Amino acid sequence: MTRHDYEAELRRRGFEYEFSEQSPDFRASEHAHEFDACALILGGQVGITINGKERIYSAGESFDVPAGRLHSERVVGPEPLCLVFGHRARRSSEARSSELRLTSPAA
């Protein structure tokens, strides 16, 4: 999925989004958001840990973290992390998922 396609999908799903860059030493200890979050990795790598299991996401991959889901984050490797970060308020009618969903790499 291209950045353009991802941003169009975010708009369709009711997300606001922004470009974000994190330095190679970035870490966020375990936390939860009051909003649904998602991201498309444009460059670098990020490790997302849920229930003690870390999954590494690289350029072209995306993930979702539902509102209220405890997780931690860290930039992996020497490169900065560049991503499109989406967020939206949780709608009460939406089912809560406790798993991250991985999409296929960008074409």
What is the value of pTM for the model shown? 0.81
Residue 16 corresponds to which tokens in the numbers above? 């606001």
pLDDT at 69: 97
Domain boundaries, given as residue ranges, for the chain: 3-89
**Sheet with strand 71-76: strands edge to edge:** 27-31, 71-76, 45-50, 53-58
Q: Which CATH architecture has domain 3-89?
A: Sandwich (2.60)
Q: Do the Cβ atoms of 85 and 18 come closer than 8 Å?
A: yes
Residue 101's DSSP bridge partners are none
Residues making up the chain, counted from first to last:
107
**Sheet with strand 35-43: strands edge to edge:** 16-22, 81-89, 35-43, 62-65
Query: DSSP character for 12?
Result: H
Q: What is the Cα–Cα distance from 40 to 99, expressed in whole angstroms?
A: 17
Q: pLDDT for 14-71, tens place per residue?
A: 999 999 999 999 999 999 999 999 999 999 999 999 999 999 999 999 999 999 999 9
Indicate if the pLDDT at residue 96 is higher than 50: no
